[in-house]
A and B are shown apart, each in its own frame.
Chain A
Amino acid sequence: MTTVAPRAAGSAKAAKPATMAQALRQAMRDAMAEDPTVHILGEDVGTLGGVFRVTDGLAAEFGDDRCTDTPLAEAGILGAAVGMAMYGLRPVVEMQFDAFAYPAFEQLASHVAKTRNRTRGALPLPITIRIPYGGGIGGVEHHSDSSEAYYMATPGLHVVTPATVEDAYGLLRASIASDDPVVFLEPKRLYWSKSQWSPGAPATVEPIGRAVVRRPGRSATLVTYGPSLTVCLEAAEAARAEGWDLEVVDLRSLVPFDDETVVASVRRTGRAVVVHESQGFGGPGGEIAARITERCFHHLEAPVLRVAGFDIPYPPPMLEQHHLPGVDRVLDAVARLQWEADS
């Protein structure tokens, strides 16, 4: 764990709370300033500053060669990044939206994930692939997928997702610094979430792969990440009225998976619910629940439960509130953790 003091954000307004989008931008800005090999590329990342404005100002500050608007072709973007990494650059690519990344999947699975391995370590590919993901912003189809299970199922990739403004900064710095490819999933409904951390303030950069207990508790563990963290924290507050003292673990990294933190928590509480908004069947929760069961069987007072999105293509925006796991669905699952008393 290192603490970095980023360059000042360039204005006296640095004391204002920052959004996650600002933290991500600051992470790229600081990485680019420190390391001339860091290059950003993607559709709209330059003049427009990204459709979510996450790269706003970077082309103006570092030039078109460092922050490059590319042709609209995701396989080409990621494929070019592979070649750039082969020549010693550290590309950070933006995929704009979750479902837009699918054309690049062959590059990701066949080259990005495997090249270190197929060259026996001779050719590492330090590429960060930023993908705004998940729903809850009223996007039309193909703009709200939670595609993390595909990336988790591809050995050779790290899969990281921040849930807080501070982590957005720290995890992106760590991802860009990583000598391995990182799929960096940005929960787009948290882009405008704020914290007291501000661009220019010192920030913590940990090695990726460590979960964190966001809220300590004794009665059960909610295991979650990314966009569902806020749901779980809210559910934990609401559950107090029912006499439940819930611990909330934010995974932050899906690959590598922090068994240690999760297992320690579940052994303490004896009960676990995995919460995420991607589909349940074949989704991350199945893997997580299995890992918990394998390691905590004798500590468990109830089966590990999953609260996930339905096993459906992402619904139209006017119906997405029924699909996304909300506080009530989490609380219902927590209630079911008393199963042995009822059965």
Chain B
Amino acid sequence: MKKSSTTVQEPPGAVVHRTTPPPVWQPRTDPAPLLPDREPYRVLGTEAAGDVDPELLRRLYAELVRGRRFNAQATALTKQGRLAVYPSSTGQEACEVAAALVLQERDWLFPSYRDTLAVVARGLDPVQALTLLRGDWHTGYDPREHRIAPLSTPLATQLPHAVGLAHAARLKGDDVVALAMVGDGGTSEGDFHEALNFAAVWQAPVVFLVQNNGFAISVPLAKQTAAPSLAHKAVGYGMPGRLVDGNDAPAMHAVLSEAVRRARSGGGPTLVEAVTYRLDAHTNADDATRYRGDGEVEAWRAHDPVRLLEHELTERGMLDRDGISKAADDADAMAARLRDRMNADPELDPMDLFAHVYAEQTSQLREQAALLRAELDASAEPADDAPGQGGTR
């Protein structure tokens, strides 16, 4: 059946286009309440600060100071070779601390590799939290015991896990919320989009926290996305997007608490973008001077989360020099304990290499385990010409 190559003819009897209106179509939701505010939400230095529970402010301050000291200590441990790597969250402590504090014990935290501080602020033994980065095993704790997923090194891949877990909890009738953390670079990954879409479709009780710290290693946000903000991405999935000053600890706590409350009460997921800054390099292997100037870093130092809260507390007479010193001393003591413990060599059993690949070792792994066992035994035996150890003839 050949047709003219220049004109498209309607087949006989076909409905002529546009003489009847198309079926009614409307967007399913009014996007207005989903859109984030134009400016990041702030508490410190605003009237809202007066409404924050003083106890919460004090707790946030203590945690921020400890977190800052933890970052410094862990960074020092990389220089001493005690940690293979440490992705510092210096400058982002307000995000880390708030993420941990807004969760109930039964809730789950899904951290990325930079979120050691959130894991520690949730109450996990710091040595267990640093196991991955020390290199003695991949995860140093039982995720189900602490309700903390393993620190995820692949970007954004832990977000669908948070959705699946929250969904499963809700199916079971449990009042559990999952909070998943990701960086600005991670928002470009496919798993980020799939996780948000699943969460919105399932109305899963999940909070997605994007820490927009300005750079994905060296690539600035402007080369990462053309979106007005990362929080704006939420509207496309049908969930609220919230923009918050990531260096303002009470603002972070308020926005995340509200998102957790919404999730727990059946309101579905929220995407929170925390606008913050990574004051240190990506890791100790990175040279941040190649991609950003001192002026930019200094401008952000003036917006340091610890100093911002310290200023607020001092202004309101809730903190004086003694209080500042005491917080610093407490943090130093924590760091000293951590240093001591990290200076002990971990005891590793090479046979663990085969212990947890499958529930039951395959015959192939049993053979390989026997090979390693034999190698270990051979290397443990003294050489023939070695001096005897007290044997008598």
B-binding residues in A (CB < 8 A) = 39, 65, 70-71, 73, 75-76, 78-89, 91, 103, 106-107, 110-111, 114-124, 155-156, 158, 178-180, 209, 255-257, 259-260
Contact = CB atoms under 8 A, between A and B. Distances in A.
Contacts of A255: 362
Contact of A76 (B142, B145, B198): B198
A24 to B, nearest CB: 23
A79 B193 CA distance: 12
B357 A81 contact: no
B355 A89 contact: no
- Nearest first, the 8 closest Cβ-Cβ pairs linking A and B are A79-B160, A83-B164, A76-B194, A118-B138, A80-B164, A83-B165, A256-B362, A87-B168
Nearest to B165: A83
A85 B159 CA distance: 14
B352 interface: yes
Contacts of A110: 154, 157
B171 interface: yes
Contact of B142 (A79, A111, A123, A155): A123
A76 B165 contact: no
Which of A116, A122, A158 is packed against the most chain B CB atoms within 10 Å? A122
A71 B139 contact: no
A119 B201 contact: no
Contact of A75 (B137, B162, B165, B190): B190
Contacts of A65: 171
A106 B157 contact: yes
B172 A87 contact: yes
Contact of A103 (B139, B166, B168, B190): B190
B195 interface: yes
Q: How large is the interface on B (under 10, 10 to 19, 20 to 34, 35 or more residues)?
A: 35 or more
B165 A84 contact: yes
B161 interface: yes
A86 B190 contact: no
Contacts of A91: 164
Contacts of B135: none
B291 interface: no
A88 B357 contact: no
Interface in B146-168: 149-150, 154, 157, 159-168
Contacts of B363: 256-257, 259-260
A71 B200 CA distance: 11
A83 B356 contact: no
B290 to A, nearest CB: 29
Nearest to A85: B164
B393 interface: no
Nearest to A124: B359
- Report which residue of B137, B163, B362 has the largest number of chain A beta carbons within 10 angstroms of its beta carbon: B362
B37 to A, nearest CB: 28
A335 to B, nearest CB: 33
B167 A106 contact: no
A120 B195 CA distance: 26
B88 to A, nearest CB: 23
10 contacts: A79-B157, A83-B161, A86-B164, A87-B164, A111-B154, A118-B137, A121-B356, A122-B143, A156-B358, A259-B363
Contacts of A115: 150
Nearest to A181: B358
Contact of A79 (B143, B159, B166, B352): B159
Given A73-B198, A87-B172, A80 B355 contact: no
Given A70-B198, A256-B362, 19 more contacts: A73-B197, A76-B160, A76-B191, A76-B197, A79-B157, A82-B160, A83-B162, A83-B178, A87-B172, A88-B168, A106-B157, A116-B356, A117-B138, A117-B357, A119-B138, A120-B355, A158-B358, A180-B359, A255-B362
Contacts of A106: 154, 157, 191
A106 B195 CA distance: 14
Interface in B71-94: none
A162 B162 CA distance: 33
A120 B137 contact: yes
Contacts of A259: 363-364
A71 B197 contact: yes
A178 B359 contact: yes
A79 B150 contact: no
Contacts of A124: 359
A89 B168 contact: yes
B169 interface: yes
A178 B157 CA distance: 24
Contact of B167 (A71, A83, A209): A83
B144 interface: yes
B150 A119 contact: yes
Contacts of B194: 71, 73, 75-76, 79
Contacts of B190: 75, 103
Interface string B178-197: 10000000000011001101
Contacts of A114: 138
Contacts of B201: 70-71
A163 B204 CA distance: 39
Q: Identify which of B154, B161, B352, B362 gathers the most chain A CB atoms within 10 Å of its CB.
A: B161
